[in-house]
Structure formats: C-alpha cells, structure tokens
Amino acid sequence: MTVYLDHAATTPLRPEVLEAMLPYLTEHHGNPSSIHGSGRRARLGLDEARETVARIVGAKPREIVFTGSGTEADNLAIKGAAWANSARGRRVVTSSVEHKAVLHACAVLERNGFEITYLPVDRYGRVDPADVAAAITEHTTLVSVMYANNEVGTVQPIQEIGSVCRERRVLFHVDAVQAAPFLSLDVDDLQADLLSLSAHKLGGPKGAGALFVRQGTALLPQLSGGSQERQRRAGTENVAGVAGFARALDLVQADANAREEENARQAALRDRLVDGLLALAAVELTGHPAERLPNNASFLIEDVEGGDLVAALDLEGIEASTGSACTTGSVDPSHVLLAMGIDEARAHGSLRLTLGRETTTDDVDRMLDVAPRVIERLRGARAEVAATASAAPA
Amino acid sequence: MARIVAAMSGGVDSSVAAALLAREGGQDEVVGVWMRLHPDGGEGFEQTRSCCSPDAADDARRVAQMVGIPFFVLNLEREFESRVIDAFTDAYLDGATPNPCQACNQYIKFDELLRRGLAAYDADRVATGHYARITQEGGEYRLLRAADPAKDQTYFLWVLDQAQLARTRFPLGELTKPEVRAIAAELELPTAAKPESQEICFVPAGDYRTLLEERRGYAGDPGPIVDAAGTRVGTHTGYAHYTVGQRHGLGVALGEPVYVREVRPASNTVVIGRRDEVAARTFTAEGRRFVAGRPPAERFKASVRIRHRGTDVACEVTLVGDDRFAVETVEPVWAPAPGQAAVLYDGDVCLGGGRISRAA
C-alpha cells in the first residue's frame, strides 16, 4: 500500500467532488454562454460555483474569475494588474520565495521595462512587513506575497503586509494556493485586492483555479477572445472543473471549526513526523517552527541528494518530494532555500513531506520506519564515492 | 527480490535492453533511469536531438511506461562535466585525441550510476544497451565482443574491472542491430525507428572548436604546419584544432595526400606526413588496465584495435613499468593517436588496454 506524503504537489479528488462534477461531464453538456436550455443548465452550475467561492473568500460573485490553474491566476493577477496600471508606474514588489508562477511572471514584466523588487526573507522564509513598506515608491503599483510557501510551509504575515499596501494605496496580490485548505481566506481581513486559488491542492480536480479581483481593480486580460468571466478571461468555462472546485473549497472551508479540528489532527501527525526525523543525525527542519502550514514537514538531510532520496522512498512505497518540481532532473537547488540563507551544497539535501486528510498515524510510522535505513544507505554510498575519489591517483 | 537498474538514454538500443529485462520478469525488478548529463537551454528553448536531451528523456519515459517499469531521472551533470567534458577539452589542449564515450562508461555509467544510483534504488546490478557480452568462467568475469561484430562496443568498455562486470548486464550482447530494431517495432516502442546517434552528445554538429572557445577560452592561435624534415609548409588555425590522422582542413598541397602526424602543443606546431609516414608498427600505451585484474603475461601475443570500428591487427605486447605497455604489430597500423585507446583482444575476449602515449 502506497503512503502518499506529497499533498503540496496535489491531493486526491474527494468523492463528493467527483459527484458534483459528474453531471457536467455527462448530461449537462451545454456551453454556459448558450441561450438554450442546455446552456442555461450549465450556466446554473457555473453561477452556483461562483457564489460558493465568493462566499468562502468573503467577496461578491462578480469578483471571482475562474481560470485554468493557480499559475494562470497568478499570471493574470501580476501581468494583468501591472500592465493595467502601468500609466501610474512600473514598479512591482514581491518576495524572493514566491512560486515560479509569480517569479517568472515578474521576470516577463522585467524584460518589458518594469522594475521588480525581490524582498529578502529571514532564515525561516518570512518577509518583514517593514521591508515591504520600505520597498514601495510612488511608482509602485503592485505588491505580491504568497500566503504560505509551497516548499517549506512558512506562513507570511499577510494582514500586516496588507495594511502596508492599503495605507500606501498599492494593489496587494496574495498567492493563496498552498494556504487555501488550511487558513482563513477572508479577503477583507487579509486586505487583499487579488487572491489566487487552485482546485487540485484542496481535493478538487486539476485544471481549475480562480482569481479574486476586488471590484474596481483594473486588469489587462491575458487571454483574448470571447466575453466570458466579465471579459477578464476568455475561453469556454471548464464547468465540471469549476463545479468540483467550488465543492472542494466548500468542503474544507465552510465550517471553520471543522477546518481547525482537521488542522490540529494533521499538525499532530506532522509533529510526530518531525520529531522522528529530527532524532536522526544531521537532519534539520526548514521553514518556520511555528508559523507554518499544519501539513508541512520539510527538511535538510545532510550528505544526501534529495532526488535520490525521493526515488529511494518511492521504491519503498512512500511518495514524497524534494520540495520543488524536478522531473527533468534539474540540478538547480531550490530558490526558496537559497533565499533563506542555506548554501547550495546543503540545499541539495531537501525533502518535503506534506500530509493530507487521508494521512494516518500508520502512514507516518511507516515513513519513520523506512527513512533511517534509506538515508543510511544513501550516505554510505556517498562516503564510498568520497573515499574512492580521495584514494584515486592524481 | 533483486533489483536491476536499466540505464535508458532514449535511444532504441537501451530501450530494447530495458524492455527485454522487463519482459524476462521473475527474478529482477527493473527500474528505468535516464541520466541527465548536461543542461538544457532554459525557458522556451527548443531542444535539438541528442541522446541526452530532454527530448530523449521523454522517449525514455514513454518506453518505461510502455514496458511497465518505474522511471527516474538521475542528475549527473556535475560529474559528467568534470569527468567527461573537461577531460575532452583537456585532451585537445594537450594535443591528444579524447575518448569521451569511454570516459562516460568508465566514470559515469559504470561508476557513478553503479554506486550512487544503485544506492538510491537499492539495486545490485545495472544494465545498458551496449553491444558486448559478459561471461563467467571459474569465478572470473570475461568481457567478450558482441555477437554482431559490426556493432561491437568493447572498444569503449575495456576499462571495466571484475567488480563492475559482476554487477553489469548487456541484454543486447547476443543480438544484431536489425534484431534489436525488430524487437522495438514488435513492442511498438516509440524509439523503434530512431536514427543512430553518431555525434558526441555534448558537441552540437561535431563542432568541438566552439566548445574549446566557450569552455576554455581557446580561440586558436595560428602557427606553423611542418613536414617530417621540419620545413614549414603551411599555417594552421591553432594546434588544438587538429588530431593525428586528420586529412581535411590542412590547406596544404604537396602533390599527394598528407595527414596530421603529430600535434605539438608546446611549440603550437602541427607536423604532417604522407600516408606511410603516419602509420606505425610500434607504439606505447599508458594507464593500462586488464579486465581480469592482471595481465596474461609480461609479454604476450594479442590483437590490438586503436579506434572504434577499426580493424584488429596481430601484435606482441610487452609490459613496461607499472603503467605502460609497448605494442609491436605484425603490419603497420594507421595513425595511432595519443589519447585514443589501444584495446587488446584474444580472439573475442577483450583483455584490456591503455591510452596511446605521445611519441617519445
């Protein structure tokens, strides 16, 4: 039986979500823009989904734009807001630990003459709101900081940063993709003007995301075409995906008490995992010790190549991650760990374990049983290589 | 259950090797591994076809999916850069001819992959798509030429020792290339009709001069081309642009074909000669290794091959010191190039070899 400890990458689709999607994959095949009955039936699903997402984030339905992914939501927020407000200024402030969707969208702006400030973080990966205030100039139009980090799980002081932005009259975008299953998403509390979400990180399907766009926020669409999504995102809506997304978000967020209970359950399992792995030699926790997502346990494991460890764990039936996507075997260490002041050599030993609703104590114990053996084997091989290399004639 | 790592390059040979192992089933659990050896071009980059490009990784992954084995990418960029690419440019700057495929086997496939890869996958053996055979007689492993002499790759494998052979399998050793292609077609592998890769995987279009310039800042400094008597007969673009045996690009017309006979880095000189002046009956090799772990004798008869797809020439080998051997062939061999391997055989058995030394 496989133990899945990679919920930050994606989560299993919840049965209730599949149920909510199926009608739109079968009998309700209409295009929500059509005038006829089939179209109206599909439109009903889309409208209901929009209302649900709006309710959860404390927004009006018209402030929700459905997208194809969290990445698309980030791109629409950053490129869309930066371009739409470029007459006022061409400066954007973000952090050095953002998801690549944000960083690479900023890089495109940079190539087009925008100035981007990448804020530093402390050793736990936290942004200092005072740095945000100091980075904002009269030409700054947008600040983008993630709610919680996808690699190390550190939660940012979003409300404080939101206050700074509000005070300085600068738009504030929050990438809430990783935080969404666990933290309050009230956009007024967070003082966010733009907020990105992704369905598959919280029990929904892949291929659906959303961007909250506060009313009155100018946005340049990134996809041109029909007038869907109030002309902010052209293309026939993924009705089934959106219906599943709304159902999944409602399941994790509708009842705050239930959410906190599940958070506490996962945090307890997470702590068991952290305690067990920290008991091994030369293993260190990355990210903030307290201000972190309840399901994230990420580590540096000395003298081990993270990719090798993940492969080794997989062959033992445990699915984990190095922390960032590396399917083509890129050797570049995580930009998040580097920004936290971890040197390149040590950053190669990263391991990310992320729990989910179906994770059990047995799963955690299985990992704790397998990990010491596998880590020891990998370290042994590396020591052998080092010994041979130093013994070899020059 | 034992586990075996199938090194998959994305080419037809290693694809079929992995498929055969997976089909064998039973004793070994097969894990497919594609080694990432050099970086791609970054965002929006359209990769050219080469055995180690991300395109090749896609092909390897599809084959692994089709034959039903787990598939991983092992990043060996750093090791490949220092042990293969740097050694390649070093050789040219040293006036020698590099042997990158042999270096890749010696240091990457049968060293890094064997040790680090096997630790990661808890496997005890590695398989590749090389055309060669391994047999075991009386507790000793022997490296034999492939059944298909046209495809034999022992010229690049003579560096393997007993410990490495004990943990290596060559599933294609008894097959011919057409048979391998037929198996690939029968299994409908996406790599079945892939063209043979001939060029060096990290040298696009065979242009190693650009590589020398980019990696080592060697742009070439013109210098004299001289004949055997030392008379200047032309000008070259930089000694490292020439290898022993080269005929083209000399810009010298002496009424008969001339070839590079020697490259002298210290004086930035290229020495040329007529065809018969470039052949030799004696040469020495260094860095000797024997597959059995020991030489057959202090002096022994063998046959020697000094380039891939070259011909074998009968010879007598005499050990010299701890590291070298002298070769005397019964008939002249064409242009022994310093840096290239001199591989020794007894019939089909690959005995070992060494690196051809610079003429004393």
Predicted complex ipTM: 0.84
* A330–B119 C-beta distance less than 8 A: no
A326 catalytic? Reply is: yes
Q: In angstroms, rounded to a whole number, what is the distance separating the alpha carbons of residues A144 and A172?
A: 6
A15-253 fold? Aspartate Aminotransferase; domain 2 (3.40.640)
Nearest CA of chain B to the CA of A331: how many Å?
Answer: 7
Residue of A nearest to B41 (CA): A330
Structure tokens at A219: 């946005």
* B119–A377 C-beta distance less than 8 A: yes
pLDDT digits (tens, 9 = 90+) for B303-313: 999 998 889 99
CATH code, domain with B137: 3.40.50.620
* B121–A315 C-beta distance less than 8 A: yes
Q: Identify whether B119 is part of a domain.
A: yes
* A378–B74 C-beta distance less than 8 A: no
| One domain, residues B68 and B194 | yes
Q: Does domain A3-9+256-382 match CATH 3.90.1150.10?
A: yes
Count of CB atoms situated within 10 Å of the CB of A300: 20
Of B31, B43, B115, Cβ closest to residue A384: B115
CATH code, domain with B333: 2.40.30.10
Spans of all domains in chain A: 3-9+256-382, 15-253
Res. A386: pLDDT tops 90: no
Task: Specify whether the CB–CB gap between A244 and A338 falls below 8 A.
Answer: no
Vertex B187: Cα angle to B182 and B193 (nearest 5): 55
pLDDT digits (tens, 9 = 90+) for B212-267: 999 999 999 999 999 989 999 999 999 999 999 998 888 887 788 899 999 999 99
Nearest CA of chain A to the CA of B72: how many Å?
Answer: 7
* B73–A329 C-beta distance less than 8 A: yes
Interface of B with A (CB under 8 A): 3, 31, 34, 36, 39-40, 43, 54, 57, 70, 72-75, 77-78, 112, 115-116, 118-122
Residues whose CB falls within 8 Å of the CB of residue A250, separated by 6 or more in sequence, listed in order: A52, A56
Q: Identify whether B212 is part of a domain.
A: no
Q: Which residues pair with B353 in a beta bridge?
A: B289, B343
Lowest mean pLDDT: which of A11-20, A345-354, B131-140, B205-214? B205-214
| One domain, residues B172 and B79 | yes
pLDDT category at B54 given cuts 50, 70, 90 is low
Of B34, B70, B73, Cβ closest to residue A315: B70
* B36–A329 C-beta distance less than 8 A: yes
| One domain, residues B251 and B336 | no
pLDDT category at A390 given cuts 50, 70, 90 is low
When divided into structural domains, chain B yields a total of: 3
DSSP B294: S
pLDDT of residue B344: 98
pLDDT of residue B49: 46
Nearest CA of chain A to the CA of B355: how many Å?
Answer: 16
Res. A392: pLDDT tops 70: no
Q: Regarding predicted confidence, which is higher, A330 or B233?
A: B233
Residues whose CB falls within 8 Å of the CB of residue B71, separated by 6 or more in sequence, listed in order: B8, B31, B32, B33, B34, B60, B61, B64, B65
Chain A contact probe: residue of B73, B79, B83 with most A CBs at under 10 A? B73
| One domain, residues B246 and B150 | no
Task: Specify whether the CB–CB gap between A248 and A199 falls below 8 A.
Answer: yes
Task: Specify whether the CB–CB gap between A4 and A321 falls below 8 A.
Answer: no
Is A166 an interface residue toward B (CB < 8 Å)?
A: no
| Chain A residues with beta carbon closer than 8 angstroms to that of B75 | 305, 307, 329-331
Of B34, B57, B116, Cβ closest to residue A381: B116
Q: Identify whether B52 is part of a domain.
A: yes
Q: What is the pTM of this model?
A: 0.89
The mean predicted confidence, pLDDT, of chain B is 90
Domain-terminating residue out of B205, B227, B248 = B205
Q: In angstroms, rounded to a whole number, what is the distance separating the alpha carbons of residues B49 and A238?
A: 36
Of B39, B40, B75, Cβ closest to residue A307: B75
| One domain, residues B271 and B288 | no
DSSP B33: E
3-state secondary structure of A281: coil
DSSP A125: S
Structure tokens at A10: 């994606």
By C-alpha distance, which of A63, A111, A82, A34 is closest to A211? A63
| Chain A residues with beta carbon closer than 8 angstroms to that of B80 | none
Residue of B nearest to A384 (CA): B115
| One domain, residues B144 and B234 | no
The mean predicted confidence, pLDDT, of chain A is 95
Lowest mean pLDDT: which of A79-88, A218-227, A322-331? A322-331
| One domain, residues B88 and B108 | yes
| One domain, residues B185 and B233 | no
Q: How far does CA A21 lie from the centroid of its chain?
A: 23
Vertex A119: Cα angle to A117 and A123 (nearest 5): 160
* Domain hosting residue B261, numbered range: 219-277
Domain-terminating residue out of B205, B236, B269 = B205
Q: Identify whether B98 is part of a domain.
A: yes
| One domain, residues B332 and B302 | yes
Annotated catalytic residue: which of A311, A326, A370, A381?
A: A326
B201 catalytic? Reply is: yes
| Chain A residues with beta carbon closer than 8 angstroms to that of B110 | none
Annotated catalytic residue: which of B52, B104, B315, B350?
A: B104
